[in-house]
Amino acid sequence: MTTEHHQHPDGDHQQVLAGGGEMGALMRTIDWGLTPLGPVATWPQSLRTTVSLCLSSTFPILITWGPERVQIYNDLYRPICGEKHPRSMGQRFNECWASALPVVGGIVDRAQAGQGSYIEDQRMFLDRHGYLEGAFMTFSFSPIRDESGGVGGLFHPITETTDKMLSARRTEVLRDLAVRLGDAKSMVQIGERLTEAYVTYELDIPFLLFYEFEPDARRVRLLGTAGLPAGTAASRPNPAYTPVAESACLHALEGEQTRHLNDVAALFDGLTSGPYPEVPQEALLLPIRPPGDAEPVGCLVAGVSRRRILDAGYRAFYEQLRATVTAAVANVHAYQHEQARMVALAELYRAKTTFLSNVSHEFRTPLTLILGPVEEALAEPHLSLSGESLKLVRRNTLRLQKLVNTLLDFSRIEAGRVNAHYQPTDLSAVTADLASAFRSLVETAGLTFTVACPPLAEAVYVDRDLYEKVVLNLLSNAFKFTLAGGISVALAACNEYVQLTVSDTGVGIAEAELPHIFERFHRIQGAKGRSFEGSGIGLALVQELVKLHGGTITVESRLGEGTCFTASFRLGRAHLAPEHVNAAATLAVTTLAVPEFLSEAANWVHEAPEIADHALRFGHILLADDNADMRAYVSKLLTARGWAVETVCDGQAALDAARARRPDLVLTDVMMPGLDGFGLLEALKADERTCTVPVILLSARAGEAASVEALQKGADDYLVKPFAATELVSRVSARLVIARAQAESLAHEQAIGKEAVVARQELHSLFMQAPVALAILEGPRHTYTFANPRHSLLIGGRDVMGKALLEALPELKDQGIEELMDSVVATGESFIGSEFLVNVDRKGLGLAEEVYYNVIYSPKRNGRGEVDGVFACATDVTDQVIARRQTEAILVDLKIADQRKDEFLATLAHELRNPMAAISMAISLLELVPGDTAQAARHRETARRQMGTLVRLVDDLLDVSRITRGQVALQLEMVDLASIVQNALTDSRATIEAREHTLSVTVAAGAFPAQADATRLEQVLINLLTNAAKYTEPGGTITVRLARDVVDGTAQAVLSVSDTGRGIPEDRLKTVFDLFVQVSPTIDRAMGGLGLGLTLVKSLVEMHGGSVSAHSDGPGNGSEFIVRLPLAKAAQPAFCTAIPALPRPAVARTQRILLVEDMVDVSDALKALLEYLGHEVTVASDGLEGAARILAMRPDLALVDIGLPGIDGYEVARRVRETPGGETLYLVALTGYGGPDVKAKAKAAGFDLHITKPVDIAKLTQAVDRGKPVRN
């Protein structure tokens, strides 16, 4: 139907279609007579009314009328029509919206039949912009009744919700993708999950391709595809790109910008995709670059739907899609980086664990060889080390020192704290000197040793100590792994470098190990060398030391043919930091580090196996250890007990020796070159000739886990280094006894008659004489069938024979002992417990106590090899455990004390610098103002006041020092504590008033007699009052109370000082009296304090037999300190021991004074002061000059400083007194040391008087007045 538009002159037409905006104007131009509706004049009133309502409505409305459903709509409906307008006005509804009829056709028909409908957010496809567009509408269809009562038309209000619905759908798509991709662990998984999720986003993205960029190959790799039919070029794993497609991907990746692709089908070989029949024509290429990456790592090719225009909202959705995938890729990268980091950490942990195991071995072996001889010496009456024992201790001390130095060097290098000093050095002489130190050792081992170090044309800048460590480490390494052939050392210039080469014909290094040879902690497993010893950081240290010189080090090696290390050092000094270069040349001096390396290497020279020929009847022990000192030491311990000891240097030699001659016991180290201890154990147990030989493992690995591992592998016992000699002997003795007991028990079952009885008696005798506690328990209830005297001592002498375990020792119930024995019987495996805690009555008094034992429970087998009991061996180690724990507690206390000391020193520096700063400024100001002004007097007063502060600080320090050393003696006298309180309040009033505090004092009636040192108690109260004043905000209240109390029949004075100040946290109340402790260091430092005051209070109160306690309800609630002191039973006459003052002469006397003082400022000041007082003063500046002048001029008075150069003041006094006539001279000691010991020492040296610096003028004047007058 075609509607004609032109001006219509019909007046009725104008009235009906009046208003209505643009659509009203359009309708007025239409000749409605040409439409099925006919002229407007013929329209029924119902149509007229509906049209008028539609045109004037502010809601989008369309009406249809008649069976042809001619449509009319208003201005707000017009956008829904799109490009169909204005043709759509007056057009038949079914013709205009043919594409929507599959959705709305039925609804329209129902409405036409009189049934209205309301539909929300209905999806439909509209052809309104030249393409079939997906849209969402909320609408209703209502019938319009005409004059006949029938349905004349339809009323169709509508709202488009496309933007809302698309936004919600796309948000849901992005949320679902984020969840799906959130736990992807690889780029491949991202591609797979994008493919799996296609059904959730196909309406917006008809197809999607996910590529990974391979920058090295400059190509992209397809990891995921969605929406493309299987078999198409683009959907295959390795698609056959057209050149245009691949070029587009690479261009977008390099540009990092979203690229719009047109004619997509041409790019992807006839592409068909998506949920709609229309083939996509557009796509967006979205590069993926996670934050932090320098370039894109991949891209998305996302198709654009033919049923939506690519507007801003659609583009924003694609950008959010890219952000979601980018986040997933970033998570994958983070996960992969974390996995790589975890692998690296695991490798580092493995290397660290290996290193700690090696270092533990390296520490424990020399510790054993040091502690053993020392313990033996302590057990001897003369308490001395000598001979081979002393040499053994020295060798192993050097070994420990080398190990510690190596660890410290490596630690300093890693921390960047190496303070190198590079000096021009004759490298040829130094290298030759270092190499020559190894010659004797190398040639003794049967190797050739070649050194080629010709003179160089110029000196080389090196740090001498660091270079020596390079050479010594390389030589030591070569000697360790060279068993035959020789070692060569060469030094030669090569272009701009000097090359040090250390080569050998040793065991060599496998090619796979070469890249790791300089890694820290790395050790080559199974490498055959002279020793297994080593920390695994020697070559890593060498590499770092060479790098510090700006050089490089390389290694060349072939397995079984030897190794060559080449270290290159640059000539000149331009590559070195100028501040570390010293132009002065150094001489070739023998290094102190050489003995450490030689001592360690000497232990690697293996002597021939030794076996003692004597005393074989007492046991044949095979000892395997790669450390010569350890072999010698253990062999000495065991042969001293009468056992025959055969020594070998590694596991293979031990296995050969055991097979050649079966030993009674094998004692082997775990860590040895070649065949280690565990390998030896396995080989012995696998050989029927040696499978029953008991094996004791020696190891540096401590702990239950190590013991369990050893037992599970078949060891009979496990001993941790360092071990006590008695422990080793006891374990060996117990194993030999048990082994012999097992052998003789088997022989007993086979023997008959008297021989069996004799054998049993001998076995019993051996058990009875064993130096450890032994017992045998048999049967299901573990009944005692044997217990030796040592076992009886451990259980208080109780009779246990014939009794079950828990019957004989009921206190063991529920302690797991019976269960352990059950396990030994059931599994046939031994149990070794180190420091095993048991509650046992070991004194026989009926009281169980905690006891620690080293225990061994071994299976007892009968003649048929069946386990029918348990051998129990125990050693009481309670004292050792307690001692160790006490030591550990002391270490913790020392650590806390050290921390407090550091805090105290920081505070002390602050407190000392404050008055010193004030004094310094006062002196500077005195130099600027006239001396007789009020301003100068104020500055002098400041200096005197701050000097008093310094003196008080020093006095507090000295008091604490004397008290902690027990050097304070109280001057006791009968005093009234009320008077002491009054005096202290008087002295503290200025401090309290300066802070504007209110002071409340309550003293109970009557006297408070006490035997006390009045000065010290005043010091206690002043400290408490000062503390309260400092830590209470200005305007606070301080309360002092003195009352009486009776505790346990003893009368006490109770003195309390409380305040309304900052209070004390609960966790600080227990430590508030500790030395150096401050409640809040920051606040205390601001208020001024060293953390000594309360320590002095506590110490002085306790010296008076009293106590002091602190109470506080927490920060902000003030605090209270309560002092309790014992009162005297009855008042006694007061007494004192004050020294009467010397009478002061009425007329000043001029004295001849000799001042011996090395500090010029001090001597000038004292000389000026004494001359001002009218005396003649001569000055000497050191001890020798002072002694000579005293004897020459014989002054009336000699003031002598103690700390003098040459000879000290004590020696000056002694020389004067030893000279005839010198005994009458008047000598005064002048020193900054004021302790009682110093005064006693001064008196013993011959001084008449001791004056402490800073000098008090009154005391100095009194001392001068006591001298002999020259003239009045």
Answer yes or no: do 553 and 648 share one domain: no
In this predicted model, which residue has the larger pLDDT, 13 or 1226? Answer: 1226
Of the listed ranges 191-200, 579-588, 965-974, the least confidently predicted one is: 579-588
If you average pLDDT over residues 233-239, what whole number do you get? 45
Q: Is the dihedral of CA 897, 902, 903, 905 positive or negative?
A: positive
Whether the predicted pLDDT of 31 surpasses 80:
yes
Residue 1270: per-residue pLDDT: 38
Task: Measure the CA–CA gap between 1096 and 746, rounded to whole angstroms.
Answer: 74
d(CA 111, CA 153): 9
Same domain, yes or no: 490 and 634: no
Strands 486-494 and 448-452, by their bridges, are parallel
pLDDT (mean) for 508-533: 73
Between helix 628-639 and helix 387-415 the angle, nearest 10°, is 140
Could you read off the pLDDT of 436-457 as tens digits, one per residue? 888 888 888 888 999 999 998 8
pLDDT band at 1111 (very low <50, low <70, confident <90, very high): very high
In this structure, the answer to whether residues 448 and 547 fall within a common structural domain is yes
Predicted local distance difference test score (pLDDT) of residue 616: 40
Quickly state the pLDDT bin for 82 (edges 50, 70, 90): confident
CB atoms near residue 336 (< 10 Å): 13
Q: What integer pLDDT is reported at residue 525 of this predicted model?
A: 65
Give the mean model confidence (pLDDT) for residues 829-846. 85
Please answer whether residues 698 and 668 qualify as being in contact, where contact means their C-beta atoms are separated by less than 8 angstroms.
yes
Assigned domain for 399 exists: yes
Residue 679 domain flag: yes
What is the amino acid identity at position 1212?
V
pLDDT surpasses 80 at 785: yes
Q: Which two tokens stand for residue 1049?
A: 């029949």
Q: pLDDT at residue 243 above 50? A: no
Burial class (CB in 10 A: 0-12, 13-18, 19+), 718: buried
pLDDT of 917 reads 59
Give SS3 for 769. Answer: helix
Residue that finishes a domain, picked among 689, 723, 757: 723
Residue 183: left (phi > 0), alpha (psi -120 to 50), or beta? alpha
Q: Sign of torsion, CA 785 786 791 793?
A: positive
Nearest CA to 959 out of 1103, 1105, 1096, 1097 is that of 1096
Most confident residue range from 592-601, 694-703, 826-835? 826-835
Q: What is the pLDDT of residue 1130?
A: 55
Q: What is the pLDDT of residues 453-478, one digit of tens each?
A: 999 888 899 988 889 888 888 888 88
Q: At which of 114, 144, 160 does a domain end?
A: 160
**Regarding predicted confidence, which is higher, 699 or 960?**
699
Q: Does residue 606 have a pLDDT over 70?
A: no
Which pLDDT belongs to residue 360? Answer: 61
- Domain identity same for 238 and 313: yes
pLDDT for 1179 = 93
Answer whether residue 1272 shows pLDDT above 60: no
**Residue 1155 — left, alpha, or beta (φ > 0 → left; ψ -120 to 50 → alpha)?**
beta
Contact of 141 with 116, CB cutoff 8 Å: yes
Handedness of CA 580, 585, 590, 594 (dihedral sign): positive
Q: Is 104:124 a contact under the CB 8 Å cutoff?
A: yes
Sheet containing strand 70-73, strands side by side: 70-73, 61-65, 151-160, 132-145, 117-127
Q: 482 pLDDT band (50/70/90 cuts)?
A: confident
Tokens at 906, concatenated: 């920081």
738 residue type, one letter: I
Q: If you count DSSP H runs as helices and E runs as strands, how many of each does the chain have, helices first?
A: 37, 40
Residues 21 and 80 placed together within one structural domain of the fold:
yes
**Token pair of 86, please?**
């204005």
Phi-psi region of 560 (alpha: psi -120 to 50; beta: other; left: phi over 0): left
- Report pLDDT digits (tens) over 1141-1171: 333 333 346 889 999 988 777 788 788 888 8
pLDDT one-digit tens code per residue, 918-963: 676 667 767 777 777 877 777 777 777 667 667 766 766 666 666 6
Strands 151-160 and 665-669: unpaired
Residue 713 to residue 691: CA distance in whole angstroms: 13
Does one domain contain both 452 and 581? yes
* pLDDT band for position 1233 (cuts 50, 70, 90): low
Closest CA to 1266 of 1192, 1179, 1199: 1199
| pLDDT tens per residue across span 186-231 | 999 999 999 888 888 888 888 898 988 876 656 788 888 888 876 5
Residue 328 covered by a domain: yes
- Tell me: the pLDDT tens digits for 1060-1072? 998 889 888 888 8
CA distance 1116 to 1036: 12
CATH number of the domain encompassing residue 1196: 3.40.50.2300
pLDDT at 881 over 70: yes
* Residue type at position 153: G
Nearest to 835 by CA among 725, 699, 727, 726: 727
How does pLDDT run across 312-337, given as a tens digit for each residue? 888 999 999 999 999 999 999 888 88
Tokens of 1026: 């000062």
Indicate if 560 and 678 belong to the same structural domain: no
Q: Which region among 494-503, 535-544, 725-734, 1078-1087 has the lowest average model confidence (pLDDT)? A: 1078-1087
pLDDT category, 361, cuts 50, 70, 90? Answer: low
What is the domain range of residue 1232? Answer: 1152-1265
In a domain, 829, yes or no: no
Tell me the average pLDDT across 64-69. 92
Of the CA atoms within 13 Å of residue 552, those in its CB half-sphere come to: 4
Indicate if 598 and 610 belong to the same structural domain. Answer: no
Contact 1137, 970 (CB under 8 A): no
| Of 311, 342, 373, the domain-final residue | 342
First-to-last alpha carbon distance for the chain, in angstroms, is 150
**C-alpha to C-alpha distance for 806 and 798, rounded to whole angstroms:** 13
> Which pLDDT value is given to residue 793?
82
Query: 739-743, 892-896, 1033-1037 — which is least confidently predicted?
Result: 739-743
How far is residue 982 from each of residues 454, 1025, 1109, measured CA to CA in Å? Answer: 89, 12, 22
Element (H, E) at 215: none
Considering the domain architecture, whether residues 414 and 269 belong to the same structural domain is answered as no
Q: Is 734 a member of any domain? A: no
Domain presence at residue 774: no
Let me know if residue 140 belongs to a domain. yes
Inter-residue contact 1228 to 1197 (CB < 8 Å): yes
Q: Averaging pLDDT over each range in 888-892, 1131-1135, 1262-1266, which range is the top one? A: 888-892
**What 3-state DSSP class applies to 86?**
coil
- The mean pLDDT value of the chain amounts to 80
Instruction: Report the CATH number at residue 990.
Output: 3.30.565.10
For residues 537 and 610, membership in a common domain is answered with no
pLDDT of residue 498: 92
**What is the chain's length?**
1272
Based on the fold, state whether residues 622 and 712 are members of the same structural domain. yes
Residue 145, pLDDT > 90, answer yes
Give the tens place of pLDDT for each residue, 569-583: 998 888 888 888 886
827 is a domain residue: no
Mean pLDDT of 1091-1119: 87
Read off the pLDDT band of 179 (50, 70, 90): very high
CATH of the domain at 142: 3.30.450.20
Q: What residues pair up with 719 in beta bridges, in sequence order?
A: 698
Tell me how crowded residue 775 is: count the other CB atoms within 10 A of its CB: 25
Closest CA to 554 of 567, 541, 536: 567
Determine which of 121-125, 268-272, 558-562, 564-568 has the lowest per-residue pLDDT on average: 268-272
698 forms beta bridges with: 669, 719
| Residue matched to tokens 């089908």 | 265
Q: What percentage of the chain has pLDDT greater than the value 90? A: 20
Write the CA distances from 356 to 351, 535, 670, integer angstroms.
9, 8, 15
Contacts of 993 by beta carbon, 8 Å cutoff, 6+ apart: none
Specify the number of domains making up the chain: 7
Residues 423, 539, single domain; the answer is yes
Q: How many CB atoms lie within 10 A of CB 1000?
A: 11
Residue 1124 forms beta bridges with which residues? 1054, 1107
